[in-house]
Each structure stands twice: as structure tokens, then as C-alpha cells.
């Protein structure tokens, strides 16, 4: 029998046990996660800035998903208007408060600032869909979600600002 055939046929018999525990013990000390941990530590104070972007992007994705699953349930529009007036005023009030902090103190980049504006691209998309399908429950729910999410994020940013800088704008109102 050829040597290679014999080895292939008895392959498992040629295998030894695995390495001793010292190999993993040494590897564990050098894992490339430590560097990441330092980055995470650095980011810890500003985690909410990253969170805002993630949340806004995810929410935009969810809204698009909502819009693609249409449901024909009739709802009355005046309810919607009432809801819009309520949330719009709350959000604008929060945006005003945020506007009173100096930009360098807020540390928000232009993308985040743009996303935080009341009528951002997601809003315009929702508004357009709502106009063409006024009775669609899913678009309605998506709009409410959009408002609530934005409001909560603004609250979070404002409370972080207070926590770190102990400066409250003069017209600070009760949180949501």
C-alpha cells in the first residue's frame, strides 16, 4: 500500500490531542480587544452622540419598512393634526433649548444637527406618504414614533448637557 493512502485511511489515528492551556492563557493577554476597550472608554462620555446617529438611522430604516407594508384602515385625519401640533411644539421647544448651548459645547457634528431638525429627510418622506395615504394606520404610527423618538433624544441630549456642564438655559422646561 502507498504510504499516502495508508495515512489517509488512518488519518484520525495520526492526530494527537490539542495544545495545553498555556497557549490560550498567553493569547488571551494579547487579544486585540484591549485597544478597543480604550476606545470605548474614551467614547464613554460621548456615547449618546453615537447613539443618536444609530437610533436615527435605525428609525429611518424602520419607517421605510413601515411604509412598504401598506394597510387599508381608515382613520380620521383631525386626530393626526392634533398629535402633530402637540409634538411639533414640544420638539421645537427642545430644539430652542438646545440652540442656547454654544456649538462647541454640544459637540454635535453637522450630520447629527441636520438629523435632529424637525423637518429632516425622514420627516419629509413621512409627510409625503401621509398626504397621499391619509388613512394609513402604519404611516400614522410611524409618524408618532418619529416624533416620540426625536423628543426623547432631545431630552437625553439636554440632560447630558446639564450633567456635564451644570448650565441650564433660562427657559428650561420640565422634561417629558
Partner 1 sequence: MQPFSPFAVFNMSLYPNALEKMPVTDQIVVRCRKGDVRAFRELYEAYARAMYNICLRMTGHAADAEDVLQEAFTQVFKNLDKLGSDSSITAWIKRIVVNHCLSYLRKKKVYFEEVGETDAAEEAAVDEGAYALTVSAVKEAIGQLPDGYRTVLNLYIFEEYTHREIADMLGITESTAKTQFMRAKEKVRQLVKLKTKEV
Which residues of this protein are in contact with partner 1, per CB under 8 A? Answer: 1, 3-4, 6-8, 10, 13-20, 22-24, 26-28, 30-33, 36-37, 51, 54-55, 57-59, 61-62, 144-145, 148-149, 152-153, 156
> Cβ 142 to partner 1, closest distance in Å?
11
The CA-based angle 161-167-169, given to 5 degrees, is 95
* Gap between the Cα atoms of 40 and 47, Å rounded: 9
C-beta of 35 vs 170, nearer to partner 1:
35
Q: Is 134 within 8 Å of 77 (Cβ atoms)? A: yes
> Cβ 97 to partner 1, closest distance in Å?
18
C-beta of 57 vs 167, nearer to partner 1:
57
| C-alpha dist (Å) from residue 150 to 55, 59, 142, 154 | 10, 10, 12, 6
Amino acid at each position: 500500500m502507498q504510504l499516502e493512502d495508508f495515512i489517509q485511511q488512518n488519518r484520525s489515528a495520526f492526530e494527537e490531542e490539542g495544545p495545553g492551556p498555556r497557549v490560550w492563557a498567553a493569547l488571551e493577554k494579547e487579544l486585540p480587544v484591549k485597544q478597543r476597550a480604550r476606545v470605548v472608554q474614551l467614547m464613554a462620555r460621548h456615547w449618546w452622540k453615537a447613539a443618536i446617529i444609530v437610533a436615527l438611522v435605525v428609525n429611518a430604516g424602520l419607517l421605510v419598512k413601515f411604509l412598504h407594508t401598506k394597510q387599508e384602515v381608515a382613520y380620521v385625519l383631525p386626530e393626526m393634526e392634533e398629535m402633530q401640533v402637540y409634538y411639533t411644539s414640544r420638539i421645537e421647544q427642545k430644539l430652542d433649548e438646545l440652540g442656547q448651548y454654544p456649538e462647541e459645547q454640544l459637540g454635535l457634528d453637522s450630520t447629527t444637527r441636520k438629523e435632529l431638525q424637525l423637518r429632516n429627510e425622514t420627516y419629509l418622506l413621512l409627510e409625503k406618504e401621509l398626504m397621499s395615504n391619509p388613512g394609513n394606520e402604519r404611516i400614522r404610527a410611524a409618524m408618532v414614533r418619529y416624533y416620540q423618538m426625536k423628543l426623547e433624544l432631545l431630552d437625553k441630549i439636554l440632560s447630558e448637557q446639564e450633567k456635564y456642564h451644570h448650565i441650564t438655559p433660562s427657559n428650561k422646561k420640565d422634561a417629558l
